[in-house]
Amino acid sequence: MTAQKNLVVTMQAVNKWFGKHHVLRDVSLGLASGERIVLCGPSGSGKSTLIRCINGLEGFQEGTLTVCGTTLNGTQERLAEVRRHTGMVFQNFNLFPHLSIMDNLTLGAIYARGEPEDAATERAKALLERVQLTSQTWKYPGQLSGGQRQRVAIARALMLEPEVMLFDEPTSALDPEMVHEVLDVMEELAQSGQSMIVVTHEMGFARRVSDLVVFMDQGEIVEAAPPDTFFSAPATDRARGFLGQIS
Ligand code: ADP
Ligand code: MG
């Protein structure tokens, strides 16, 4: 992390407990503008908690977190500001089942941002074309495949023009044959310069797309290295063990 970089996310010595359970231990991390970080590690290591802190879905007890110039101290203050800068895509899509795909995309823009419906509709059309779902515009989520729903979820997050996109295992609930249509969309997004943090076990994606692989275990960042280094020469037994298990 160098001082010259324009950092969109900075975490400094963040500590978080659920009751007595220490789930984030002195986590420090910087995401520069346009940078892609892949976050990996065993189940329960704190990956979801970390990215949920970044968009204010979780608070924390110690440390500081700055997202696009807004500093959070773990309390409820200024959460709305942070959420405006971040887009989040979850494992389970979280689309509104009773709304058409178009309305899923435009609802937030119209009601949260006060954008005129025409303008929101135009932007939604362009995004649905970008994720290759124009033909599904007037369908409902239940009529789409898992891969299509996840591409809708990505397009919906992009409607709010987030400076940072956060993905929490976006392909782990998908049938194997649909994984790659979602990864392709994410890869295109990365190539367009979108800053992003992706929790994933798709190590091929990590190699192709990430600038930095961050490996967590038991609430701490154990290693952070460019993918070439991380995959060819992991520095710790914990990372070697993890890579041995998932490959
Ligand atoms: P990961 O995403 O790496 O699998 P999580 O961030 O979901 O890990 O969880 C980290 C730890 O925090 C786990 O031990 C998990 O059981 C615990 N945890 C997560 N969410 C909660 C919660 N809401 N209440 C209590 N413990 C939680
Ligand atoms: Mg998780």
Q: What is the pLDDT of residues 132-187, one digit of tens each?
A: 999 999 999 999 999 999 999 999 999 999 999 999 999 999 999 999 999 999 99
What confidence tier does 94 reach under pLDDT thresholds 50, 70, 90? confident
Ligand 1 binding pocket includes 111 (Cβ within 6 Å)? no
Ligand 1 binding pocket includes 131 (Cβ within 6 Å)? no
CA of 199 from ligand 1 middle (Å) equals 14
pTM confidence score: 0.95
Which DSSP category does 194 fall into? Answer: -
Local structure of 94: helix, strand or coil:
coil
Tens of pLDDT, residue by residue over 96-145, are 999 999 999 999 999 988 999 999 999 999 999 999 999 999 999 999 99
CA of 206 from ligand 1 middle (Å) equals 23
**CA-19 nearest atom, ligand 1:** 25
- Nearest 5°: phi and psi at 106? -85, -20
The CA distance from 82 to 55, in Å, is: 6
Ligand 1 binding pocket includes 16 (Cβ within 6 Å)? no
Minimal-distance CA residue to ligand 1 atom 27: 18
The CA distance from 16 to 62, in Å, is: 7
The CA distance from 195 to 156, in Å, is: 17
Ligand 1 binding pocket includes 43 (Cβ within 6 Å)? yes
Ligand 1 binding pocket includes 172 (Cβ within 6 Å)? no
| CA 83 to each of CA 43, 78, 88, 207: distance values in angstroms, whole numbers, following the listed order | 26, 9, 9, 29
| Interface predicted TM-score of the whole assembly (ipTM), two decimals | 0.98
The CA distance from 205 to 196, in Å, is: 13
The pLDDT value recorded for residue 64 is: 92
Ligand 1 binding pocket includes 46 (Cβ within 6 Å)? yes
Ligand 1 binding pocket includes 69 (Cβ within 6 Å)? no
Bridge partner residues of 37 (DSSP): 197, 212
CA of 47 from ligand 2 middle (Å) equals 5
Please report how the helices 101-111 and 117-130 are oriented relative to each other, as an axis angle in degrees rounded to 10.
130
CA of 82 from ligand 2 middle (Å) equals 21
